[in-house]
């Protein structure tokens, strides 16, 4: 159950549209669910960005997101809507909507209302996740999350939290090096590669040491992290643990649900190619095909515990525009500068639309 406290944000906005608070919904790609959990013919009601949506997979296998309310008489098509071929049928009066949101048929049999349509959202169904693009000015995306090859990894294990926090705060943990020690118990935390940005992505590399607690291996181990942050909705971390012979991938996805709530989805997977030669004689006796899924399950449980240690902090902290940073905190200001682009328009299309809007408002005022 999500907590009910408001997430207080004490900052000057980077958006011209909202003053006195950090805008709730940055532009970007956000996860609505796992690809494997949406079968052909499935229809699901979704709430995101304080809007009601409907998610379905048509008979061609395409994942589609539409505004949920039928433009005919307002039925929520996520409740009782059905897939007919490649279209979504409204449960109220049998209006059929295509992947573009256009009404293409009615069960009245009296013709097609040409101007009847609902909004269709941009969807990327890749990496095992259904991602939707949000733009406050309803612009098309000019950037995408890259595809990652998971063919040599165990099936993804996923867990979802709901919390009263802002997506920027949640993702800030990826650069808050001090918290890895004080909250999670890591030691010897080093920056291996200074963070850089490229377009709508941020890259960083760290290493740190921690006790394992694994049967047959009691020594502390060093892990190296290669981090990619795409927008504020998708982070991909390659974790290498040479002492254990392990290669792990961790994914962090945040989706704004409404003005108070963020959905945090974490997932992890283990490489099937790596031999766990450093784990001690007991674990080495287990065949790799059986060991890797078991380790992925163990690591997933540990991952949930790690993230749970952050929840109360996220839900009760405030955002400070000018924090009292010191050596050891990590590149927090670098991350915040990277985030600003997603409020004033991540895409060049949105930036141009903002300029046009400002010009129009100025002309009206004159």
Q: Are strands 319-320 and 9-10 parallel, antiparallel or unpaired?
A: parallel
Q: What pLDDT does residue 327 have?
A: 93
pLDDT recorded at residue 359: 53
Which segment of 6-10, 205-209, 234-238, 278-282 scores lowest on mean pLDDT? 6-10
What are the pLDDT digits (tens) for 46-77? 999 999 999 999 999 999 999 999 999 999 99
Q: Architecture of 157-340 per CATH?
A: Alpha-Beta Complex (3.90)
Contact partners, residue 149, CB within 8 Å, separation at least 6: none
Report residue 282's pLDDT band, with 50, 70 and 90 as the boundaries: low
pLDDT reported for residue 354? 47
Rounded to an integer, what distance in angstroms lies between the CA atom of residue 232 and that of residue 343?
Answer: 11
Q: Does the pLDDT at position 15 exceed 60?
A: no
Q: What is the predicted pLDDT for the residue at 73?
A: 97
Contact 338, 197 (CB under 8 A): yes
Segment 113-139 shows an average pLDDT of 95
135-152 pLDDT, tens per residue? 988 899 999 999 999 999
DSSP 3-state assignment of 265? strand
Please determine, for residue 235, whether its predicted confidence score (pLDDT) is greater than 90.
yes
Q: What are phi and psi of 197, to 5 degrees?
A: -125, 150
Higher pLDDT, 26 or 366: 26
Burial class of residue 199 (count of CB atoms within 10 Å of its CB; 0-12, 13-18, 19+): exposed
- 85: confidence class by pLDDT, cuts 50, 70, 90: very high
Q: Tell whether the model's pLDDT for residue 223 goes beyond 50.
A: yes
Reported confidence tier of residue 23, pLDDT bands at 50, 70, 90: confident
DSSP label of 244: G
Domain boundaries, the chain: 28-134, 157-340
What pLDDT band is residue 295 in, cutting at 50, 70 and 90? confident
If one compares 132 and 293, the residue with the highest pLDDT of the two is: 132
DSSP state of 329: S
| Distance from C-alpha of 102 to C-alpha of 278, rounded to nearest angstrom | 58
Task: Please list, in sequence order, all residues whose beta carbon lies within 8 angstroms of the beta carbon of residue 18, skipping any fewer than 6 positions away.
Answer: none
User: Which residues, in sequence order, are CB contacts of 285 under 8 Å at separation 6+?
Assistant: none
Read off the pLDDT band of 30 (50, 70, 90): very high
Per DSSP, helices labelled H in the chain are 167-172, 177-182, 281-284, 288-316, 332-340, 348-365
CA distance 88 to 97: 5
Cα of 97 vs its chain's centroid, Å:
27
pLDDT digits over 325-343, tens only?
999 999 999 999 999 999 9
User: In this predicted structure, what is the pLDDT of residue 280?
Assistant: 57
pLDDT for residue 14: 34
Q: Give me the CATH topology for the region 28-134.
A: Rieske Iron-sulfur Protein (2.102.10)
Task: Give per-residue burial for 258-284: e unless 16+ CB within 10 Å, then b.
Answer: eebbbbbbbbbbbbbebebebbbeebe
Q: What is the mean pLDDT of the chain?
A: 87
What pLDDT sits at residue 270? 94
Do residues 221 and 243 lie in contact, with contact meaning Cβ atoms separated by under 8 Å?
Answer: yes
Surface-to-core class of residue 334, CB atoms within 10 Å of its CB (0-12 exposed, 13-18 middle, 19+ buried): middle
């Amino acid at each position: 159950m999500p907590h009910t406290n408001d997430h207080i944000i004490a900052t000057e906005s980077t958006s011209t549209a909202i003053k006195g608070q950090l805008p709730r919904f940055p532009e970007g790609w956000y996860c609505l669910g796992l690809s494997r959990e949406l079968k052909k013919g499935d229809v699901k009601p979704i709430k995101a960005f304080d809007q009601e949506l409907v998610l379905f997979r048509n008979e061609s296998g395409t994942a589609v997101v539409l505004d949920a309310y039928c433009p005919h008489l307002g039925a929520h098509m996520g409740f009782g809507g059905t897939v007919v071929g490649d279209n979504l049928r409204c449960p109220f009066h049998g209006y059929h909507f295509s992947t573009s949101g256009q009404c293409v048929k009615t069960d009245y049999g009296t013709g097609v209302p040409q101007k009847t349509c609902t909004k269709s959202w941009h969807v990327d169904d890749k990496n095992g996740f259904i991602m939707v693009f949000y733009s406050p000015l309803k612009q098309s995306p000019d950037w995408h999350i890259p595809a990652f090859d998971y063919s040599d990894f165990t099936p993804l294990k996923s867990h979802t939290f709901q919390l009263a926090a802002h997506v920027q705060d949640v993702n800030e943990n990826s650069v808050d090096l001090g918290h890895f020690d004080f909250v999670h118990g890591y030691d010897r935390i080093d920056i291996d590669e200074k963070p850089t940005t490229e377009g709508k992505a941020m890259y960083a590399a760290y290493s740190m040491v921690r006790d394992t607690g694994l049967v047959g291996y009691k020594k502390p181990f060093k892990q190296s992290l290669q981090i990619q942050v795409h927008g504020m909705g998708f982070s991909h971390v390659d974790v290498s643990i040479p002492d254990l012979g392990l290669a792990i991938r961790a994914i962090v996805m945040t989706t704004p649900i409404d003005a108070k709530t963020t959905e945090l989805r974490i997932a992890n997977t283990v490489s099937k190619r790596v031999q766990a030669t450093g784990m001690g004689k007991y674990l080495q006796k287990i065949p790799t095909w059986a060991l890797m899924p078991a380790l992925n399950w163990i690591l997933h449980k540990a991952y949930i515990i790690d993230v749970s240690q952050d929840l109360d902090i996220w839900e009760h902290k405030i955002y400070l525009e000018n924090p009292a940073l010191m050596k050891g905190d990590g590149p927090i200001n670098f991350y915040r500068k990277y985030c600003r682009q997603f409020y004033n328009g991540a895409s060049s299309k949105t930036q141009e639309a903002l300029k046009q809007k400002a010009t129009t408002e100025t002309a009206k005022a004159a």
